[in-house]
Copies of this chain bind each other. A is one copy, B any other.
Amino acid sequence: MKKSITGDEAEDAFSGFPVVLATVSGEKDNIITLAMCHVFSFKPPYLGVGIAPRRFSHGLFKASKDFAVNIPTKEMLKAVEICGTRSGRKVDKFEASGLTREKGEKVSAPLIAECPVNIECVKVQEVEAGDHTWFVGEIVAARADPSYDRNGDMLLYWGDYRTIGERVKVVEERK
């Protein structure tokens, strides 16, 4: 028998969204850890990242024409946590996390050398949705480490950090 739950509890029924390190340039280059990130369109390829206005990164994303989405691995969890819990107002996230800044090919946003995937985006839309602004960007350049294994390396987050589990296949019913 199902029971009524609140909107908050309904959102907590999800178990994990991919974790990314979003980067942006500005008065101070910054890194922000986000599970509020999704593919928005395939052709053209758009990614969107959702950031709350109280976050230091929000003003930087508003002011910048571009940003980058860097995919970390589970081995980078400590840096991921630092970039998710400290504020760019108080610390330099590259210094605090020990991550290495790399120059992008087509964007002003810094890339993160340790991340096996770096995706450069030019902002095409800003969507105000409740308590978040979604910055949607078109992918204009990207690079990946050929040894990157998306199923083995990637982190999910929604309350806990988790890995990707096993592949599930449809078991056909015998008739």
Q: Please give the residue numbers on chain A whose beta carbons come within 8 Å of chain B beta carbons, in ascending order.
A: 1-18, 36, 38-48, 50, 71, 74, 77-78, 81, 116-119, 125, 127, 129-132, 134, 136, 138-146, 148, 150-151, 154-156, 160-173
A166 closest partner in B (C-beta): B163
Known contacts A81-B170, A151-B162; 8 additional CB pairs below 8 A are A15-B150, A15-B151, A15-B154, A16-B154, A43-B130, A127-B127, A162-B164, A162-B167
Asked whether B156 lies within 8 Å of A41 as measured between CB atoms, the reply is no
- The CA of A74 and the CA of B146, in the complex, are separated in Å by 31
Asked whether A14 lies within 8 Å of B150 as measured between CB atoms, the reply is yes
* Shortest distance from the beta carbon of A115 to any chain B beta carbon, whole Å: 9
Partner of A168, one of B44, B139, B163: B163
- The CA of A77 and the CA of B167, in the complex, are separated in Å by 12
Contact A13 to B165, CB < 8 A, known contacts A132-B41, A143-B5, A171-B78: no
The oligomer's copy count stands at: 2
A117 closest partner in B (C-beta): B13
What residues on B are CB-neighbors of A130 within 8 Å?
Answer: 40-46, 138
* Shortest distance from the beta carbon of A154 to any chain B beta carbon, whole Å: 5
Partner of A38, one of B4, B13, B17: B17
- The CA of A6 and the CA of B141, in the complex, are separated in Å by 7
Q: List 29 A-B contacts (CB under 8 A).
A: A3-B146, A4-B143, A5-B143, A7-B140, A8-B45, A9-B144, A10-B45, A11-B39, A14-B71, A15-B18, A15-B154, A15-B164, A16-B18, A16-B156, A16-B164, A17-B38, A36-B38, A38-B38, A43-B130, A43-B131, A45-B130, A48-B129, A77-B168, A78-B170, A78-B172, A81-B170, A161-B167, A162-B165, A164-B164
